[in-house]
Amino acid sequence: MKRGVRLGLFGLAAAVAAIGAAGLAGAQQGGVVAPGAPPRTAQVKVTPPKAAATRLAVPETGEEPPPGESALKGAVIPNDQSSEAADVQPDETASSAVSKPAPQKPVEPMKRPRYAIAVLQAMDKVTAETIRFEAPVDKPIRYKSLVFIVRACETTAPDEAISDAAAHVEIDSAPAPQQGAGAAPVRQLFRGWMFANSPGLNLFQNPAYDAWLIACKTASPAA
């Protein structure tokens, strides 16, 4: 009797184990994890990276290229270098260089014409005598006790706004020597520019004499 009971228990345990195994297989197929079953590990499919664009397209057959044919046939040129080369526009640079105006030289002012003779006028305030005379350049001219020496006489250039004549004059006091007396010392009374159209600007004034410029005449040869 005990043996029969044991056989019955063994058969019941076997039936329970069969039922549990069938349930576990169904749970694994349906995606449901049975209680007490170990967790499943997710399988991730790893895709190898693609080859760089600059790799050479080598035939899979492993055959060598025929003579006269480059082994780099089929090489791919990176797009970055081609785009940078395409961005260069030499035409625009050349056009900008051509359109830039050339610097202009400054206009040189015209030279003032020089003359060989200055026309002066002097007045004796004591006698009210007035005299007009010509004084060649660098030649002393005496009027009573005065000696006039003209160093330069010129007129304004055609491109100047105002037309005028100017002379650089030196006037010395040199009284004539008297009989039986020595020569008096020479003193310079005036040195500067006189202007014909503005006689009051820089004329010679003395207690006894006045003098000013009238004009310039006879053009001197160019230096």
Domain locations along the chain: 114-219
The whole-chain average pLDDT of the chain stands at 72
Distance of alpha carbon 213 from alpha carbon 211, whole angstroms: 7
pLDDT higher than 60, residue 88 = no
In contact, 174 and 147? CB cutoff 8 Å: yes
Q: Which two tokens stand for residue 205?
A: 């004034």
Q: Is the dihedral of CA 77, 80, 83, 84 positive or negative?
A: negative
Q: Which two tokens stand for residue 207?
A: 């207690």
Highest mean pLDDT among 30-44, 171-185, 191-205 belongs to 191-205
Tens of pLDDT, residues 48-72: 555 444 444 444 555 555 555 544 4
Candidates 173, 176, 183, 174; CA nearest to 204 is 173
Per-residue pLDDT, averaged over 40-44, amounts to: 51
In contact, 137 and 220? CB cutoff 8 Å: yes
